[in-house]
Amino acid sequence: MRGSLLRVLLVWTGLGVVGQSDARGYRKPPQPTSSVSFSLYNDYLIVVRGSAGPLKGLNFLIDTGTSPSILDQRLAQRLRLTPTPAVIAAVGGNVQGSMATAPSLQFGPLRRENLPILIRDLSTLQLPIQLDGIVGLDVLGQNTFVIDYASRRISFDPSLSLPAPTPSKLPASVPLKLVDGLAIVEATVDQSPVHLVLDTGAPSLVLFAATRDPASGAHSAPAHPLPKSLGEVEHKPIRLTRFRLGESEFGRESAFLVRNPADAGHTYDGLISPTALGITRVAIDLTQHTLAFARTP
């Protein structure tokens, strides 16, 4: 049975252009010490103000589950970008899209020049504001950064050393690796290891159907409602009997089971949402391959 629609950010999570090499490289330039305030919508969506080319005062969603970054097609037209067709691997399977090169993209201290971006229609997202773009890990991953949901700030701190036992006073840390431009962490669902995309744009844990059989330990249960999106993705609410991330035990967590189309080409098993797990601060350093976090007791 087809359930309600998954929102567009889940449909686009793990975006990758088929055949495109992941050779962008996360070199570590001199990092600014700065922080940027953000607005939080629906208790998990992070929105900051930024600019693209000469256009300022734009609304960007910060989404670690997106790479490359995305500009709304309306904004792309204002910037007079020249799109080229592309096949995009999304959660629901391959879709047709387009790519272009943005002259610049900036928010806070982060700025990228001549940035390859995807062009999509963001107008159907159900938010109180209109989004102009989605800033993904291709931009964020150039710097170590900390997202503090309580203070609603993103910090860029060159003094952070995430392999340390308590980086920036965050009590837990786990290794992560970069796959197809996305940050992947290993978790345990019941007794099975899974590889999940760290996705700040997701409202819940998402597991692909090939990863979990609901008849073996995952029980149907109500979970967070998902608003309407651009595409239809079949999903089923389940409750896990056990979820573990590194040494941190999360217990019985709600999740969604999503069909994994053969043409999607995913090399991971699902998505991990920080806020759905009660995580209040999360730090990412792709150069040291480390994720650190703190959560509510």
Mean pLDDT of 73-95: 80
Geometric angle at alpha carbon 58, from 55 and 43, rounded to 5° = 170
CATH 2.40.70.10 domain residues, the chain: 8-156, 167-295
Higher-confidence residue of 19 and 112: namely 112
pLDDT digits 0-9 by tens, 259-272: 765 545 567 888 99
> In the beta sheet, which residues pair with residue 290?
175, 285
pLDDT digits 0-9 by tens, 230-242: 234 567 888 898 8
pTM above 0.75, yes or no: yes
Domain covering 167-295: architecture: Beta Barrel (2.40)
What is the pLDDT of the chain when averaged over all its residues? 77
pLDDT digits 0-9 by tens, 104-127: 999 998 999 999 999 988 887 777
Query: Which candidate, 7, 283, 10, 3, places its Cα nearest to that of 156?
Result: 283
pLDDT recorded at residue 26: 41
Least confident of 14-23, 167-176, 179-188, 257-266: 14-23
Query: Which candidate, 120, 276, 264, 260, places its Cα nearest to that of 202?
Result: 276
Mean pLDDT of 77-87: 90
Domain covering 8-156: architecture: Beta Barrel (2.40)
How deeply is 119 buried, as exposed, middle or buried, from its count of CB atoms within 10 A (0-12, 13-18, 19+)? buried
What confidence category does residue 258 fall into, taking pLDDT thresholds of 50, 70 and 90?
confident
Query: Does the pLDDT value for residue 32 go beyond 90?
Result: no
Task: Let me know: does 93 contact 261? Beta carbons within 8 Å.
Answer: yes
Higher-confidence residue of 169 and 147: namely 147
